[in-house]
Structures are given as structure tokens and as C-alpha cells.
Amino acid sequence: NEDSFLLRPGLYAVCDGMGGARAGEVASQMACLGLLSVDPASADAEALREAIIKANTAIIQRSTSESELLGMGTTLTAALLTDDTLLIAHVGDSRAYLMREGELAQVTDDHSWVGEMMRRGELTHEQAARHPHRSVITKALGTDMVLDPDMLELTVAPGDRVLICSDGLTGMVSDEIIAQVLGK
């Protein structure tokens, strides 16, 4: 298991490492630890973005300086809650969902080969779930010095539920079952 997570009142993150051996685990831990500089009480989207960019740089520097970690990387999906606003930062194929009034919506776009094919209309959701390259990620921390995470700002209301998860969940459990569980 190469997943790491951060649970801090107001700041939550899931990172799914890649790179084999212990490298993916190291990258996902570094990404989550890199978010510790973000103070949920005062942070804004730019502070969250900067923390992710710094974590990316640290992962690349460590990867290139330790041969057993060469090529490591990680996805990252983070949620920063401030009053009635939810900031989502996203890189890779880990996801964020919002459930409002019983309706589940995926709010992040997968940075994957299959995700891009779906957005272009080349694959259906059912085809994507079985595609042999569904795990090929096109954007991750640790793979490129220039990183621009997706940043989303959502207004949240009482009763909303937010789920951030790695593809370890979404690759095994359908959106329908996720909605049933979140709706309970």
C-alpha cells in the first residue's frame, strides 16, 4: 500500500504513491507532510497551491539524489475547508466527490490517459473501467518540475458530504455504491 493521508481539522488529503518498491510510499508521505505548512485557520488557495508545488520540488530533489527512489511520484487530492467554502487541490487520479441532497458528483477530473479519452468522448464510463491503461497517470507530484495543480472552489452547505479517495476505492467500488454509503 503506497497511500498516505492527512487529517487535520479543516485540511484533509489523500495521496497515492507510484514508483515501485518503497518509492511510492515515500513520495505519498512527503506530499502529505508538505501540507503541514498550511494553516487551515488562515490559508487560502494560493497557500495550498504553494505547499503542493514545494512538496513536488522536494519529491523530485529526493528522487534524483537517492537512486532507490528514482522515478517516485504521487497523486494528491486535498480539501481545505474555510467557513462555507471548500478548496480542492488536485493532481493525478485520486478523486474528490461532493454529495448534496442525495446526488453524488465527482468534482475532480482524473489526470490519466483514460480520463483524457473520456473527456474527448472517445470512451464511455463503462469502457474506461475496463481499459487496460486506466492506471496510466498523466500528471503527478514528482514527475515534472513545473506543476500546476487543479484548484477548485466550491460553496458547501449544511448536509453536504465530501469524499476524497485514491483509485484504490474507485477502481473497486462503483459510484452508485459510494453514493449509497455516503447517503446513509
The tens-digit pLDDT sequence of the chain (184 residues) is 789 999 999 999 999 999 765 799 999 999 999 999 999 999 999 999 999 999 999 999 999 999 999 999 999 999 999 888 999 999 999 999 999 999 999 999 999 888 788 788 888 777 877 777 777 889 999 999 999 999 999 999 999 999 999 988 988 899 999 999 998 7
pTM (two decimals): 0.91
pLDDT at residue 94 in the model: 95
Beta bridge partners of 107: none
pLDDT at residue 21 in the model: 59
Chain mean position to CA 34 = 14
Closest CA to 78 of 140, 167, 165: 165
pLDDT at residue 136 in the model: 81
For the CA atoms of 178, 94, 30, 37, the dihedral, rounded to the nearest 10 degrees, stands at: -80
User: What burial letters (b/e) apply to 22-39, b meaning 16+ CB within 10 Å?
Assistant: ebbbbbbbbbbebbeebe
